[in-house]
């Protein structure tokens, strides 16, 4: 394909796609709506990743640098696709930063958003300060301070972990789950 490939989303999937295409000589245009690449592990400050045990900022940071340093990949940050049209092999995309590009194909890598636990009030999130989400725990560990009770900063003696909140739940119309956590 002579035209570049449009990749929407600069998280791990978009970064991996751009790098894989570049490794076979294929140009791409990577569009990320946030001001930083890296997706959820970077934007939400995850700690160490399974299975490698590497800090997210190192593991994903490496993926970001090899994309940002690659001349076959044009990166647009803080940007979205405003218009997209054409036909297979010959599309045109207009970006919110005023740029436009002719692309041969598009890959959507827009990822996910975290479930807002306020929508399951029976578990106390939003009511009791020491009920926190997994993402908050990740951020506590990343900060280097370790897991602490937000109410008074003490190290908790025991922790209850509630799995699957927001998944497989008919009350909120979501009967499925990722099947991988």
Q: Using CB under 6 A as the criterion, which residues of the chain lie in contact with ligand FAD when the complex forms?
A: 8-14, 31-34, 39-41, 46, 49-50, 80, 109-112, 114, 134-135, 138
Number of neighbouring beta carbons within 10 Å of residue 142: 16
Please tell me whether residue 167 binds ligand SF4 under the rule CB under 6 A.
Answer: yes
- The piece of 21-29, 40-48, 59-67, 161-169 that touches ligand SF4 (CB under 6 A) is 161-169
Between vectors from CA 142 to CA 139 and to CA 147, what angle results, nearest 5°? 65
CA 127 remoteness from chain centre: 27
Please count the residues of the chain.
181
Task: Decide whether 114 or 168 has the Cβ nearer to ligand SF4.
Answer: 168
The kind and range of the H/E element at 109 are: none
**At closest approach, how far in Å is the CB of 49 from ligand FAD?**
4
Please tell me whether residue 133 binds ligand SF4 under the rule CB under 6 A.
Answer: no
* Cα Rg of the chain, angstroms: 20
Q: Could you list the residues that contact ligand SF4 (CB under 6 A)?
A: 163-164, 167-168, 177-181
């Amino acid at each position: 394909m002579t035209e570049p490939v449009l990749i929407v989303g600069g998280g791990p999937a978009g970064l991996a796609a751009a790098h894989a295409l570049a490794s076979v000589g294929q140009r791409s245009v990577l569009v990320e709506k946030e001001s930083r690449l890296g997706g959820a592990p970077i934007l939400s400050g995850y700690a160490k990743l399974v299975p490698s045990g590497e800090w997210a900022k190192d593991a994903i940071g490496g993926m970001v640098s090899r994309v940002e340093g690659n001349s076959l990949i044009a990166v647009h940050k803080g940007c979205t696709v405003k218009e997209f049209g054409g036909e297979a092999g010959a599309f045109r995309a207009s970006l919110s930063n005023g740029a436009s590009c002719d692309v041969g194909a598009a890959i959507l890598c827009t990822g996910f958003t975290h479930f807002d636990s306020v929508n399951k009030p029976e578990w106390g999130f939003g009511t009791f300060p020491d009920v926190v989400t997994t993402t908050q725990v990740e951020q506590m560990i990343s900060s280097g301070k370790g897991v602490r009770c937000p109410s008074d900063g003490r190290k908790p003696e025991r922790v209850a972990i509630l799995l699957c909140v927001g998944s497989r739940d008919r009350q909120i119309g979501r009967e499925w789950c990722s099947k991988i956590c």
